[in-house]
Structure 1
Amino acid sequence: MAKMRDRRVAPSSERRKNPFAAATATRADKTGDSASDRKLVTSFVLLCIVVIPAVSVLLYYVKNAPRASHTISLAHQRGLIKTDVTYQEILTVISENASQLHRHYTYPVLAYITPWNSKGYEMAKRFNTKFTHLSPVWYDLKSQGTSLVLEGRHNADMGWISELRMTGESLVLPRVVLEAFPRELLRNKKLRDKAIDLILTECKEMEYDGIVLESWSRWAAYGILHDPDMRKMALEFIKQLGYALHSVTSVRNNKQHLQLVYVIGPPYSEKLQVHDFGPQDLQSVGDAVDGFSLMTYDFSGPNNPGPNAPLQWIRLTLQLLLGSPSSRVQSVGWKIFVGINFYGNDFILSEGEGEGRAITGREYLNLLEKHRPEFQWEKNSGEHFFLYSDDNHAKHAVFYPSLMSVSMRLEEARSWGTGISIWEIGQGLDYFFDLL
């Protein structure tokens, strides 16, 4: 995956197949001036949107889930949350650069910041009051011979952390990616203890509030989660780390222990697979983990262009993970941070191998200024997209968040009583933060 979204490892080839149900058509009128263009657009549309059977969604989607009172954002007050948006409106509102700094979303908000995108650091400071957790993407825990090493301290910006703590109360939990060979790590008590010691020592010395750990997708890629014994060891390691962090008091607040947020991926089929992190896993490690960062984005890719995170897919993911509102697993549902993407994708619609790339807000605005596109709203996915032709006459489809799509995902998370996690704030538009 490109640097903008980090290099994540997919659990299996299933991740790229979009296996949910059959595709449906969307409004694609006015998208081409020739028969070949229309054929190409039609082929794209058939690939791009997936529909989950409505019955399965309606059976669970009862709107009596926990809700929090919330104030009205400036974007709502001005009537900017709508499906019939135009490129002129977006460019005009962006140039006004207005946003409220008090919180509207009253559940936890975790924001990722990457060292290769400096705007994320700026947004974290500017909108510090909007977040409860900030996770700079700094660390990797790797195998080194017969031992382990924690790499990434050179990324740490202590001046930035000091500024954050002077203006807000957000917890700083750097992300640690567990890249160590999993079989050796999980089977060897000394290595497990070493890994935990390295993490705890770093938290103490750097005065962090805990960490965000990413390991499940890598363990799945290695194939160890198909082995019941290895899977059990994996869950035990997560618990051991969580309890170890909980035994340490925060330097900033002696009444608060260090926290562990654990990254989990969404399922990529209608039924949970053996490598998926499911409801039983959630219950198993729930006491040791303070939050679960759920990666409900990256649904589509160059070989299957389409929406970044279809709303119905997010709903089904939450249903698979949390069950019905009356389910016992709901007791830890409030620890879920539903993933929202602040990046977009620019796909090339060709007859052969798919092509595409992630785009940031700045690149998105440049496309609007150059091509002046007409937006289309896809109801099933709850996302805006537009089409344009580049200088080589290749047809492109661009999916990038809008105020409407972000607002709908916030309301979805609110209906479940969950928090949200944003990948990543440096790639978004400034007015997105008004909704938080």
Structure 2
Amino acid sequence: MAKRFNSKFTHLSPVWYDLKSQGTGLILEGRHNADMGWISELRMAGDAWVLPRVVLEAFPAELLTTKKRRSKAITLLVSECKEMGYDGVVLESWSRWAAYRILHDPSMRNLALQFIKELGDALHAVSLERNDKQRLQLVYVIGPPHSEKLQEHDFGPKDLRNLGDAVDGFSLMMYDFSGPQNPGPNAPLKWIHSTLQLLLGTDKNSALAHKIFLGINFYGNDFALSGGPGGGAVTGRDYLSLLEKHRPALRWEKKSAEHLFFYSDDEYNNHAVFYPSLMSISMRLEEAHKWGCGISIWEIGQGLDYFFDLL
């Protein structure tokens, strides 16, 4: 999909790396995943930049509190970009820091933001191998607030403004609104709108809005409504086989702006399946367009081919 639809993307982010604590040091794992043949084919197919995703698994108390550790982590990431010819990195760390419960401590939160800024500055100091007028980029992954009122660990408008100059784009993960305990839509449109409003205020088409990649899911969910837990994430292939097997009627849920269908499995348990459709995707693209945002997709291999016609 990345090769076939390369011209529709500005950035492609393979899920390859983890930065971990190892004893008293740090290690960047994942180079064995790197597919250099695929990258060179991508570059022959179009101009999309390749920024592998790096998940920051290192213990935050150790990583953030010493300048030496922060510098080591940054050196590892910048060196990997140089050695492998990447165009930058997509960094995921906020959700990990929230899990370690460090973001409610003002001094630790400041160190966390400082680390992202230092990484952005270090990447921006390096010009691309392929084009010395362009610099390495940093895209930062952020999640939506979990309630209407911002919690201490949420990434909020203040954090967005704080990092605005150091980060080239924010990948906003607007999916997984529902789960097995509360079956329902993947990403209600009102939720998307209220999150963007919370982060950007009423300032549509601001400089910061242009840096947000609004997350759109190309996967869906199959929820068991009776008979205990069942189902799970649904990719395009799963979705087509469920349609073929059960021939269900698709329903449009106006409130969330998503399509769904119901079916009974071989044990007569009832299921609800929410999966993206051309209509649901186009409404989300329209929302992004209204704000002046870009989009990010999780993930392009899980959709149906004709989804790409909308991009």
TM-score of the alignment, normalized to the shorter chain, above 0.5: yes
The SS at the match of 1:219 is helix
Structure 2 partner of 1:336 = 212
Aligned with 1:169 (options 47, 51, 54): 47
Instruction: From the two aligned structures, give the one with the greater strand fraction.
Output: 2
Structure 1 partner of 2:195 = 317
Aligned with 1:421 (options 296, 301, 304): 296
Q: CA deviation at 1:272?
A: 1.0
The SS at the match of 2:13 is strand
Identity %: 76
Q: Deviations over 1:291-333 (max 9, x none)?
A: 000000011111100000000000000000000127xx93311
Alpha-carbon contact 2:126-2:136 (below 8 Å) kept: yes
Alpha-carbon contact 1:139-1:150 (below 8 Å) kept: yes
The residue identity in structure 1 corresponding to 2:201 is G
Q: Check if 1:398 corresponds to 2:237.
A: no
Q: Which whole-Å CA distance do the structure 1 matches of 2:203 and 2:61 have between them?
A: 37
The SS at the match of 2:44 is helix
Q: Which whole-Å CA distance do the structure 1 matches of 2:180 and 2:47 have between them?
A: 39
The SS at the match of 1:125 is coil
Structure 2 partner of 1:248 = 126
Larger Rg: 1
Aligned with 1:350 (options 211, 223, 226): 226
Q: Check if 1:144 corresponds to 2:22.
A: yes
Q: Which whole-Å CA distance do the structure 2 matches of 1:224 and 1:355 have between them?
A: 34
Aligned with 1:388 (options 256, 263, 275): 263
Alpha-carbon contact 2:218-2:299 (below 8 Å) kept: yes
The SS at the match of 2:111 is helix
Alpha-carbon contact 1:303-1:355 (below 8 Å) kept: no
Aligned with 1:208 (options 64, 70, 86): 86
Aligned with 1:194 (options 49, 69, 72): 72
Structure 1 runs (4+) greater than 3 angstroms displaced: 353-356
Q: Equivalent residues in 2 for 1:52-201 (5 A)?
A: 123-201=1-79
Aligned with 1:410 (options 273, 282, 285): 285
Q: Deviations over 1:120-153 (max 9, x none)?
A: xxx0001011100000000000000000000000
The residue identity in structure 1 corresponding to 2:23 is G
The residue identity in structure 2 corresponding to 1:417 is G
Q: CA deviation at 1:356?
A: 3.4
Q: CA deviation at 1:354?
A: 4.4
Q: CA deviation at 1:281?
A: 0.6
Q: Which whole-Å CA distance do the structure 2 matches of 1:260 and 1:150 have between them?
A: 17
Q: Which whole-Å CA distance do the structure 1 matches of 2:68 and 2:261 have between them?
A: 54
Q: Which whole-Å CA distance do the structure 1 matches of 2:160 and 2:249 have between them?
A: 43
Alpha-carbon contact 1:323-1:330 (below 8 Å) kept: no
Q: Equivalent residues in 2 for 1:370-385 (5 A)?
A: 370-385=245-260
Q: Which whole-Å CA distance do the structure 2 matches of 1:219 and 1:355 have between them?
A: 30
Normalising to structure 1: TM-score of the pair? 0.70
The SS at the match of 2:289 is helix
Alpha-carbon contact 1:301-1:356 (below 8 Å) kept: no
The residue identity in structure 1 corresponding to 2:298 is W
Alpha-carbon contact 1:344-1:358 (below 8 Å) kept: yes
Alpha-carbon contact 1:267-1:317 (below 8 Å) kept: yes
Q: Which whole-Å CA distance do the structure 2 matches of 1:333 and 1:354 have between them?
A: 39
Structure 1 partner of 2:141 = 263
Alpha-carbon contact 2:206-2:292 (below 8 Å) kept: no
Aligned with 1:294 (options 172, 188, 192): 172
Aligned with 1:305 (options 162, 183, 199): 183
Aligned with 2:113 (options 235, 260, 274): 235
The SS at the match of 2:90 is strand
Q: Which whole-Å CA distance do the structure 2 matches of 1:355 and 1:231 have between them?
A: 38
Q: Which whole-Å CA distance do the structure 2 matches of 1:358 and 1:252 have between them?
A: 38
Structure 2 partner of 1:13 = none
Superposition RMSD on alpha carbons, in Å?
1.0
Q: CA deviation at 1:239?
A: 0.1
Structure 2: 5+ residue runs without aligned partners? none
The residue identity in structure 2 corresponding to 1:260 is L
Alpha-carbon contact 2:226-2:270 (below 8 Å) kept: yes
Structure 2 partner of 1:115 = none
Q: Deviations over 1:229-279 (max 9, x none)?
A: 000000000000000000000111100000000000001101111111111
The SS at the match of 1:347 is strand
Structure 1 partner of 2:151 = 273
The SS at the match of 2:210 is helix
The SS at the match of 1:305 is coil
Alpha-carbon contact 1:225-1:231 (below 8 Å) kept: yes
Alpha-carbon contact 2:104-2:152 (below 8 Å) kept: yes
Q: Check if 1:362 corresponds to 2:240.
A: no
Q: Which whole-Å CA distance do the structure 1 matches of 2:68 and 2:214 have between them?
A: 34
The residue identity in structure 1 corresponding to 2:225 is L
Q: Which whole-Å CA distance do the structure 2 matches of 1:174 and 1:313 have between them?
A: 28
Alpha-carbon contact 1:304-1:354 (below 8 Å) kept: no
Normalising to structure 2: TM-score of the pair? 0.98
The residue identity in structure 1 corresponding to 2:164 is G
Q: Which whole-Å CA distance do the structure 2 matches of 1:312 and 1:279 have between them?
A: 19
Alpha-carbon contact 2:265-2:271 (below 8 Å) kept: yes
Q: Which whole-Å CA distance do the structure 2 matches of 1:325 and 1:232 have between them?
A: 26
